[in-house]
Structure 1
């Protein structure tokens, strides 16, 4: 995971265990075939994409199960 993305996401999701759980759950979803909600970038892995989704407001604690 990119440290800069973790720092940005931590500004949105203040509780670290919740952030970790959200990223882990979203990575599992992406790996199992769920659509990525942000533009894929070269060199970004699933965790980076999950963090970007959180930063951009595409994934929240309330809607993570709907994606």
Structure 2
């Protein structure tokens, strides 16, 4: 996994604990059949990159396609 996926998502979320939970939840949803909210990134030769569901989740978060709502207890 590229560190840039984590860094970019962390810039959007701001809290590493929230990021871990959000990314894990979204990756689980994708594993269970949800469709990714991003187009598959491609390499320099226009071949699709093979990404894990966690990498897809982090990219979605970084692009603002997955968000969360903080609820006060």
Q: TM-score, normalised by structure 1?
A: 0.85
Matches within 5 A, 1:1-67: 1-41=1-41, 42-62=49-69
Give the TM-score normalised by structure 2.
Answer: 0.78
Which of these two proteins has the greater Rg computed from alpha carbons? 2
Higher helix share: 1
Tell me the alpha carbon deviations over residues 7-63 of structure 1, each in whole angstroms, 9 at most, x when there is no partner: 01111111111000000000100000001000123121111100110111110014x
- Structure 1 gap segments, 5+ residues each: 63-67
Provide structure 2 residue ranges, at least 5 long, that are not aligned to the other structure.
42-48
Which aligned runs of 4 or more in structure 1 are off by greater than 3 angstroms? none
Pairs aligned (count): 62
Paired with 1:22 and 1:8, the residues of 2 have a C-alpha distance of 14
